Structure 1
């Protein structure tokens, strides 16, 4: 018999869910989809400012608004020494700070302004602009701020290399491919920015760029580093003597490759760096038609508000729509879910055989991209989440889409039993040690979180013939569990994200809740709960700290990460645990009056230790999913989570 207190608590829970459901439903667009802001650090907005100066297409009003944004996110002196961090509350990053300073100076900020003085001191104290990363040095070379010798040699002839060659475009990740091909063209021709206001950043160098002798140096990540440094030295001497015929052939192939994948208003690879590089390439070639397409795709990424503006790294409508759909389905919002599913269906790629097919010939396309359109580069993670939503919606008209997604997911399983995000078996680790790859993210190897999502999808479908693929995936997850019980999160911050993803997969795949890896994982989550009942982890957990030091700890609890932890615990059969009750209480306590949640810290990652992301939609749909699932499980007899997400 329910007590008055339990009835009151149920009423409070119902009210929280209803407010969140109404808020999320109201944000659905008229055609059924969702798309929230996707924010990175100062790098992309700064690069956009510099792109306008490179092209001499300066929009002073827009640049002024971007300046407001860049000044606002400049780090404080205590944690960032006046530079810019890679994520909210993070430490100063040299390369990000160089680009932000360069952009602010370009849009008119005086070097003597207090914020510029602070930034300059921080940059010089960190070694000066000459010690910035490869992509920053390429940016500076395009403006003549450093000689091209500052950049690693990446001969465009690489696009001609056969499969047996150690380095080809087919051996690196999709994002590396789309960024590098137009960049190699630019490096081949070495154009110079128009830079109509003649903006220079000489004051950011501790050594005159003309006198720097060691642009590429250690510490190296492995014994491969010195080997590739010698190879770079050799190529630097040899490149001027490469046959002109092969260079012309390579440039033509690169141009044709880019045009084939230009992707209209959604852009090359649908990511900013590739789109910007393509824009500069077509500008150099005088190809107005393709320039207009590329430039338009870049402009589509802008977020322009009344008082400030910034440029997003890409758009996330498929991901946002699928995630919002799961939250709404859990909350019982059938109509909104149907509209979301109907929007997703025509965006499934069924015809274009993309780059992913190089290592899985015969597999038919059937995936979804992350963005509105990106047919050559569907995303395994998006595909699994979108197809799980279609499956739980239960409409027979989605059967063919689900079947094609299943076929593609199975075809994309790597030989180690796991899944990468965009490619299969993309794990030639020696390539992460070439001088160009100082970011350490040239590849797309299989990861725990993406593998968990694929297992969840296949297990949710329940086909007996898929069991071998599922078991191989589970074996991979068993091998990759950390000693403390957590799993790494490649695409979300970080161990909370990875652990939640895996627990959901193990549960729906039928792994017993008393399995040792489930017990270790839930014990880890319970140990990381904070005093306020929530969970929080910042992106320092991707850094150099000893294992465990940052796992699950941040300056504050976050609604999205609390929801992940709760979903993981509930998937592991712990709905009635006091920790789950406290976590639900935290979500209710921090819910906004409009029914949604907000969080300032970043909650995801593009490239660990290099590029981080803040999904503005995460605190909107994950807490609703957790609250609604909690309500459904309390009302059930078996407390069993039946879905893989």
Structure 2
């Protein structure tokens, strides 16, 4: 017995030493990579799409930035598979038709590759084998139409006059999410005017149709119309006809309002709400309205997109947006959870940066939340009028320990907490950007991925993390109506297998981690059936090596699909969730901890595997900061909860 106890103490001592060493290593790594302004500008990596579109944009505008164009082609080519295709993630299969078409088009348009090159001949073969241009995503078809490669459909599913309908109408412009509006405003202008622009450098993609040599006049750019949609379209038409004025006047007024909507939401760096896609579309929309290619607004927008350039493994990438605020809020919080004082320089600088990023302007969120005042945080460092709930609660966690000693932090805290609370949806959950923008009518629109592009529903990840923040960091009673409603939403929306779907991450592990930590902070006991079911599910999907991993295919399939390999981030989420529901370290938790410690600095495809998503099946995000943040949190929470000797 003495020998057993002795060996157990020795093992505990070794684990304690390894955890402390791991935490120290991660802290030092983060300290070294903090920028001079206190933020962490880790890349927001989203595959090759933005690199392709940047080349297409520059060539269309006849901005011959050859250094940048050549750099972007190098990164695009580095991602090509042996079969000629491009993928969005490692285990996607043979390739992704949309990504391959975008790459093929951009490489040809760059002028540095021709159809005769072996790499492009292989890409062309893959495209034709997989239904060609007929099979790409709707947004890519729109890009092809506006650059003269596809014919516009006879009518767009959303007429531009919709922008004039009042918010009281069953479906109106503000039924869409703010992200949806930012993209839809320029799309409606372009589709209405059926604008396209060819240059003397435009490639000829006509040979990539698989249903004949040319696109059929009746071939829709959009997804198929349904009877429900036809009924809804009739309702919209009736609403438009009820507007006072001649049709020509109404049309002109709608076009002007769409233009003003875009111009009023240009950020200081020239981009439309800080997003690549909306800015790209805005530039073409303005061209369709008669703006010159050299107009200052267009030149500033292009420079804004260029400013989002970063370097990854020696190659140039144009980010979809920047993630400085998100990175910094999470890292500051993780460092403090790991034992650093808010007065230490690295944390103090980070929190000063975060305080400078709080937003005091009224954004579109006020439409559905008219009684609240500004006080949220946005995702990107250049964002001034587009806050979101996730960044707000993350930033508030980071500055929480400053509140008692700083009047500035206290004022920011109070505004931020009130704004986050005010954003709760009527169903009890929390959205990302705007409340109550999940109209069932939106799902009837024949627009591909409309549920991701145009809606902002309550989600388990946002609701769980908001609950965790409110219960762990504020003095709000756990019997408060907002807390009870949030708990109710999570319990109601749990999957049958015990997991939760996370809208903004990959996917079920992510949602389950957020939901479990939120419910436990809100006082839901370990013995609750919901907690037990979620814990059982996490235990059932642990890999033999002690880690966890989930495929990006989970989001498209709407069910958990194992990655068949473990990743640092998925493992950290699972461990952190299990720590929240276990009073003592279990074998499952300990094997997960050992996986993290054994792989902290491993660099392979699993490290680069996307952990975030924005549009199932089409848009995935590799957060370069996550490999440090979430392992650090899991190790710190293990040590904090189970004591110095575990």
User: Do Structure 1 and Structure 2 share a fold, with TM-score over 0.5?
Assistant: yes
Q: Distance in 2 between matches of 1:137 and 1:242?
A: 33
Q: Distance in 1 between matches of 2:602 and 2:138?
A: 45
Name the stretch that deviates more: 5-14 or 17-26. 5-14
Aligned equivalent of 1:541, options 545, 554, 561? 554
The one-character-per-residue Cα deviations of 1:138-192 (angstroms, maximum 9, x if unpaired) are 1111121111227735432222122233432211011111111122223334443
Report how far residue 209 of structure 1 moved. 3.4
Report what 2:242 is aligned to.
none
Aligned equivalent of 1:271, options 275, 294, 297? 275
Name the stretch that deviates more: 54-63 or 522-531. 54-63
Name the stretch that deviates more: 125-134 or 14-23. 125-134
Q: Distance in 2 between matches of 1:616 and 1:98?
A: 27
Q: Distance in 1 between matches of 2:115 and 2:146?
A: 22
Asked whether the equivalents of residues 65 and 307 of structure 1 are also in contact (C-alpha less than 8 Å), the reply is: no
Q: Distance in 2 between matches of 1:376 and 1:554?
A: 38
Asked whether the equivalents of residues 270 and 297 of structure 2 are also in contact (C-alpha less than 8 Å), the reply is: no
Aligned equivalent of 2:353, options 334, 343, 361? 343
Q: Distance in 2 between matches of 1:244 and 1:492?
A: 45
The one-character-per-residue Cα deviations of 1:95-140 (angstroms, maximum 9, x if unpaired) are 2222111111112322232322222222222222023232112111
Report what 1:183 is aligned to.
187
Report how far residue 343 of structure 1 moved. 1.0
Change (3 A) 1:394 1:403: closer
Aligned equivalent of 1:480, options 457, 476, 493? 493
Change (3 A) 1:29 1:484: same
- 1:29 and 2:40 matched: no
- 1:173 and 2:177 matched: yes
Report how far residue 438 of structure 1 moved. 4.3
Report how far residue 543 of structure 1 moved. 2.1
Structure 1 segment 370-381 matched on structure 2, within 5 A: 370-381=379-390
Report how far residue 555 of structure 1 moved. 3.2
Report what 1:600 is aligned to.
608
Report what 2:456 is aligned to.
444
Asked whether the equivalents of residues 597 and 620 of structure 1 are also in contact (C-alpha less than 8 Å), the reply is: no
Aligned equivalent of 1:38, options 15, 40, 44? 44
- 1:132 and 2:139 matched: no
Report how far residue 303 of structure 1 moved. 2.0
Aligned equivalent of 1:48, options 50, 54, 57? 54
Report what 1:642 is aligned to.
none
Q: Distance in 2 between matches of 1:301 and 1:149?
A: 33
- 1:589 and 2:592 matched: no
Structure 1 segment 229-628 matched on structure 2, within 5 A: 243-265=247-269, 267-283=271-287, 284-286=290-292, 288-304=295-311, 308-334=315-341, 335=344, 336-350=346-360, 352-393=361-402, 395-397=404-406, 398-441=409-452, 442-460=454-472, 461-464=474-477, 467-544=480-557, 547-548=559-560, 550=561, 553-573=562-582, 575-592=584-601, 599-628=607-636
Q: Distance in 2 between matches of 1:377 and 1:343?
A: 17
The one-character-per-residue Cα deviations of 1:371-398 (angstroms, maximum 9, x if unpaired) are 1133332101111111122224554322
The residue matched to 1:295 in structure 2 has which SS?
helix
- 1:99 and 2:106 matched: no
Asked whether the equivalents of residues 419 and 451 of structure 1 are also in contact (C-alpha less than 8 Å), the reply is: yes
Change (3 A) 1:64 1:32: same
Name the stretch that deviates more: 323-332 or 388-397. 388-397
Asked whether the equivalents of residues 16 and 644 of structure 2 are also in contact (C-alpha less than 8 Å), the reply is: no
Change (3 A) 1:242 1:556: farther
Note the residue ranges of structure 1 that are not aligned, 5 or more in a row: 236-240, 640-645
Asked whether the equivalents of residues 142 and 221 of structure 2 are also in contact (C-alpha less than 8 Å), the reply is: no
Aligned equivalent of 1:8, options 10, 14, 17? 14
Change (3 A) 1:311 1:555: farther
Name the stretch that deviates more: 109-118 or 19-28. 109-118
Report how far residue 232 of structure 1 moved. 11
The residue matched to 1:309 in structure 2 has which SS?
strand
Report how far residue 199 of structure 1 moved. 1.4
Report how far residue 599 of structure 1 moved. 0.3
Report what 1:160 is aligned to.
164
Name the stretch that deviates more: 199-208 or 286-295. 286-295
The residue matched to 1:556 in structure 2 has which SS?
strand
Q: Distance in 1 between matches of 2:617 and 2:455?
A: 15
Asked whether the equivalents of residues 338 and 393 of structure 1 are also in contact (C-alpha less than 8 Å), the reply is: no
Name the stretch that deviates more: 447-456 or 57-66. 57-66
Report how far residue 306 of structure 1 moved. 8.1
Asked whether the equivalents of residues 474 and 506 of structure 1 are also in contact (C-alpha less than 8 Å), the reply is: yes
Report what 1:88 is aligned to.
90
Asked whether the equivalents of residues 130 and 205 of structure 1 are also in contact (C-alpha less than 8 Å), the reply is: yes
The residue matched to 2:622 in structure 1 has which SS?
strand
The residue matched to 1:624 in structure 2 has which SS?
helix
The residue matched to 2:621 in structure 1 has which SS?
strand
Report how far residue 439 of structure 1 moved. 4.8
Aligned equivalent of 1:61, options 62, 67, 70? 67
Report how far residue 291 of structure 1 moved. 1.8
Change (3 A) 1:636 1:361: farther
The one-character-per-residue Cα deviations of 1:283-308 (angstroms, maximum 9, x if unpaired) are 44137232232122111122246853
Q: Distance in 2 between matches of 1:200 and 1:63?
A: 19
Report what 1:643 is aligned to.
none
Q: Distance in 2 between matches of 1:173 and 1:161?
A: 16
Q: Distance in 2 between matches of 1:135 and 1:489?
A: 24
Q: Distance in 2 between matches of 1:562 and 1:68?
A: 33
Aligned equivalent of 2:219, options 192, 214, 220? 214
Report how far residue 426 of structure 1 moved. 0.6
Change (3 A) 1:189 1:599: same
The residue matched to 1:555 in structure 2 has which SS?
strand
Change (3 A) 1:55 1:26: same
Q: Distance in 1 between matches of 2:583 and 2:213?
A: 61
Report what 1:195 is aligned to.
199
Q: Distance in 2 between matches of 1:156 and 1:604?
A: 32
Report how far residue 200 of structure 1 moved. 1.5
Name the stretch that deviates more: 598-607 or 114-123. 114-123
Asked whether the equivalents of residues 275 and 294 of structure 1 are also in contact (C-alpha less than 8 Å), the reply is: yes
